[in-house]
Structure 1
Amino acid sequence: MAELRDCPTCGGFFNYIGIRDVCGKCATNEEKMYEEVYRFLRRRENRAANIERIVEVTGVTESLLHKWVRKGRLQPALFPNLGYPCDNCGKLTKKGKLCDSCLGNLNNDLKTFEAAKEFREAIEKSDRATYLANQTKK
């Protein structure tokens, strides 16, 4: 079922049906910009262009380039200097939501947490009781 949404680009209303996140007019403009960027990148001398160079030459926004790379329309395997920002630190990445260093840090933190959890569980499971030797009865 369609949902009425604001277009983030132009501010107009459109029926969102799960396919595009912008209105039809803006989607057409985005497609024209995509074609221009793709034509630019297909030239052999431009395949290694970085994001700043593409923005400078084509006039497309960085966020739109990031969106196309994230969705797989522009593939970093073909264009090696393309990527999108890591959700944690902002460093360019080519896959997933986190860059390799943030992913490594997260994995290390998880391993540390699991080790601490296992240690706590081992202590709780131990059947050792503590006895006080010098207790006096009243």
Structure 2
Amino acid sequence: MGELRNCPKCNGFFNYIGVREICSKCAANEEEMYETVYRFLRKRENRAATIERIVEATGVEEDLLHKWVRKGRLQPALFPNLGYPCDNCGHLTTVGKLCDSCQSKFKGELRAFEAGQEFRESVTKNERGTYLNERKK
């Protein structure tokens, strides 16, 4: 059994059963907008359209386009200028939550942190085993 929720789009009530976050009326409206966008992109001259061009031509919200790309309904392999914003910097990405440059930056910072941590551990280990430390005990 579901629970009663407010639709974030139209503020109407709907029975939430864990499938979608919006009411069936808004979901049907979203599906119509998806069909409009997909028909637009299927035309050969529109396959390389940018997100701004798609929004301008179809009237669909940019957030919906990002949502469809993130869910895999619109595939960047077929439509190369599509993507969704990186959670860190906002640049378009097509895989994961972070763009390639943010991933590289975080990996570099993580490597530097781990190297520093290993150095601190080796210094601590070396301090424990010195002759002077053992003699003072």
Both structures adopt the same fold (TM-score exceeding 0.5):
yes
Q: Could you say which residue in structure 2 is the equivalent of 1:35?
A: 35
Q: Secondary structure at the match of 1:15?
A: strand
Task: Summarize the alignment of residues 12-51 of structure 1 with structure 2, pairs less than 5 Å apart.
Answer: 12-51=12-51
Counterpart of 1:124 in structure 2: which amino acid?
T
> 1:63-74 residue pairs with structure 2 within 5 A?
63-74=63-74
| Greater fraction helix | 2
Q: Normalising by structure 1, what TM-score?
A: 0.89
The equivalent of 1:57 in structure 2 is 57
**Pairing 1:100–2:109 present:** no
Match of 1:9 in 2: 9
What TM-score does the superposition give when structure 2 sets the normalisation length? 0.90
Relative to 1, partners in 2 of residues 1:60 and 1:118: Cα closer, same or farther, differing over 3 Å?
A: same
Instruction: Find the aligned partners of 2:7 and 2:21 in 1 and give their Cα distance.
Output: 7
Q: Distance in 2 between matches of 1:30 and 1:129?
A: 74
Pairwise CA distance, 1:6: 2.2
Partner residue in 2 for 1:135:
none
| 2:81 counterpart residue number | 81
Q: Distance in 2 between matches of 1:58 and 1:129?
A: 77
Q: Deviation string for 1:50-76 (max 9, x for gaps)?
A: 001100111000000000000000000
| RMSD of aligned Cα (Å) | 1.3
What fraction of aligned residue pairs are identical, expressed as a percent? 70
Match status 1:116 vs 2:131: no
Give 1:5 deviation, angstroms. 2.5
Aligned partners of 1:108 and 1:129: how far apart in 2? 37
Q: Distance in 2 between matches of 1:128 and 1:15?
A: 70
Structure 2: which 5+ runs fail to align?
none
Count of residue pairs brought into register by the alignment: 131
Gaps of 5+ in 1: 132-138
Deviation at 1:14, TM superposition (A): 1.9
Which has the larger displacement, 120-129 or 29-38? Answer: 120-129
Q: Which amino acid aligns with 1:14?
A: F
CA distance in 2, matches of 1:20, 1:129: 67
